[in-house]
Amino acid sequence: MNTYTILVVDDEPQLRRAMKATLADLGYSVIEAKTGEEALTLLRRETVDLILLDLNMPGIGGLETCRAIREAAIRQSNDLPIIVLSVRNTERDKVQALDAGADDYVTKPFGIQELLARIRAALRRAPASDPERRLFSSGELEIDFETRRATVNGKTVRLTPKEFDLLKFLVDHSNRPIPHRKLLQTVWGPDYGDEVEYLRVFINQLRKKIEPEPSKPRYLLTEPWVGYKFAAPDSST
């Protein structure tokens, strides 16, 4: 039996009812919000494990809601997964949602089995690939894997859960090119592999946060037609 609580944020009553019935049958606890404002109010008093968020809503809108939820979660060191649901299906829409802090993007109409797989993947931690590693330290960059915190020049860098999982996997496999598909399946789950735009967004965000010059990355390097690698100096531990 599931013990997870899912917040469904959508202005369509029919979709909320359908989602609640389906998820409740599988043992999830479900709460609902019909606007972004209502969702933000609920989150101040309710503890949830995952959010299903529609983009096309009245009021502050899905992107703004996503951004506000993610910023609040990071401040609280809360690994809260956000899955965006939207009729918009362009790469630009997906990139905007991921930039706003979403972990995943599902296009409406969707198959319920696909969505359930995405939910399971979001609730599942990326596997630890090097259980012995506790700390990476090199000059201005330090990553503490136990506390899931990174610092640059002594200042804490706020990373989303997926940003940290992606960074950790790359650091664990330092100086080795990791293919797109391998990164996606490790960090997002086995049902992923073609969502290369996810990686592009998250790598760009990480570069902005940890690189001295994001436009000339020192650590997070692109391997053309392959994937990405973390270039670790000899001082890593």
Q: What is the pLDDT of residues 164-209, one digit of tens each?
A: 999 999 999 999 999 999 999 999 988 899 999 999 999 999 999 9
Domain ranges of the chain: 5-123, 135-230
Provide the 8-state DSSP code for 125.
Answer: P
How does the average pLDDT of the chain come out, rounded?
A: 89
Q: Which long-range contacts (CB under 8 A, 24 or more apart) does 41-46 make?
A: 42/7, 43/7, 43/69, 43/72, 46/5, 46/7
Examine the pLDDT at 81 and tell me if it is beyond 90. yes
Examine the pLDDT at 5 and tell me if it is beyond 50. yes
The pLDDT of residue 78 is: 81
Please compute Rg for the chain using Cα positions: 18
User: How far apart are the C-alpha atoms of 66 and 68, rounded to whole Å?
Assistant: 6
User: How far apart are the C-alpha atoms of 85 and 110, rounded to whole Å?
Assistant: 9
* Strand-pair partners of 178: 228
The pLDDT of residue 140 is: 87
Examine the pLDDT at 216 and tell me if it is beyond 90. yes
Q: Which residues contact 168 (CB under 8 A, 6 or more apart)?
A: 126, 128, 129, 143, 145
Whole-prediction pTM value?
A: 0.84
The pLDDT of residue 236 is: 41
Choice among 44-53, 73-82, 93-102 with the minimum mean pLDDT: 73-82
pLDDT tier at 237, thresholds 50, 70, 90: very low
State the average pLDDT over residues 134-160.
Answer: 87
CATH domain 5-123 topology = Rossmann fold (3.40.50)
**pLDDT tens readout for residues 36-54:** 999 999 999 988 999 999 9
pLDDT tier at 234, thresholds 50, 70, 90: low
CATH number for the domain formed by residue range(s) 135-230: 1.10.10.10
